[in-house]
Chain A
Amino acid sequence: MINPLLEPIWFFGIDGKYVPELLKGFDSYLQIAFFVITLFISIQAYKIYKLSKKKDVGLLALGFSFISFSYIVWSILNLSIIKYIGDSVCSWISICIVNSLIDFSIYIHMILFLTGLLTLAYISLKVKSLRTYILLWGIILSVILFSIRTLFFFYFLSSILLFYLIYSYSVVYIRKRQRKSLFMAVSFICLALGDLVLLIGLSGGFYYITGNFLILVGYLVLLADLVSVIRK
């Protein structure tokens, strides 16, 4: 059965009480947008990796591809549920199967997303140690798999990683004083705030919408920054 602590009802974006009619199902489309943006960044990073052969660039491509696939998993999950609920005939067995699939998909989303963020944080740490990476990943995985308040800790851990990235890119901006570094820091500020809003608003749909829009702004700033560099 679905673990109620794992999935608040608004997680699926289908609760009419919280989500206005106009915005129903909007999150699935937002997640597709996040998927497309992060996949684009990942592809660009991979192209740069092919040219430069720098390991850090390859890791960056990998990090963004993890984040990208985490969004598509979540989006497919949301769209499947909407379709499933739309179907009038539901047997007990099919409900059990769907519930198990939902739990599985949510865990996959969380693990992929946190792995992606951890990879980005690991690159900015500039520590070339696979053991450090595996250790940090193991801690994150243990928290997600064995915690009772899984969703809370998911947002909590992702907020910590995002705030670390804000610190890291802010230091880069202070050092370089470049506009592109400033936008980079701003994009991670939006992503972290979006995540924080989702964390503090675990019980309300309004926060869910606000958090998702902040994340969208963050990704759009990141995308604009990247495009300005590529097409200078």
Chain B
Amino acid sequence: MKKRERIQVIYDILKVVQDKGNAARPTHILYKSNLSHQMMQEYLKELIAKDMLEERVGNRGKTYSLKVKGSEFLEKYRVVTDFMDLFDL
């Protein structure tokens, strides 16, 4: 199986958060992003540092939500993939 590119992994994580109504638990992200727990933690830490994700701690544990930069990334990624798909690149 072809190794996923880094940018694809970031997209997968952010997409899970968006699909879960902008409040995804770590277990959701782990399941859908198909990463090891350690790798997922590293990616989440990086995305928070880059202001794409926000971590919230509530009564039912941690949840992650998209920030403006995260939503912008998802939109740009969609345009890029659709454009490349259009020209079969």
The reply to whether the CB of A1 lies closer than 8 angstroms to some CB of chain B is no
Question: Is the Cβ of A124 less than 8 Å from the Cβ of B88?
Answer: yes
Point out the residues of chain B lying under 8 angstroms from A176, CB to CB: 85
Contact between B89 and A57, CB atoms less than 8 A apart:
yes
Given A48-B79, A229-B79, A230-B79, A54:B84 Cβ within 8 A: yes
Q: Mostly helix, strand, loop or mixed at chain A's interface?
A: helix
How far in angstroms is the closest Cβ of chain B from A120?
Answer: 9
> What is the interface of chain B mostly: helix, strand, loop, or mixed?
helix
B82 neighbours in A (Cβ, 8 Å): 229-230, 232
Number of interface residues of B (CB under 8 A): 12
Interface magnitude class on chain A: 20 to 34
Complex partner residue of A123 from B76, B79, B80, B89, CB under 8 angstroms: B89
New contact pairs (18) apart from A48-B84, A229-B82, CB-CB < 8 Å: A44-B83, A45-B83, A48-B80, A48-B83, A52-B80, A56-B89, A123-B87, A168-B88, A169-B88, A176-B85, A180-B85, A180-B86, A184-B87, A226-B86, A229-B83, A229-B86, A230-B83, A232-B78
6 tightest Cβ-Cβ pairs between the two chains A and B:
A56-B89, A229-B82, A172-B88, A48-B83, A52-B80, A229-B86
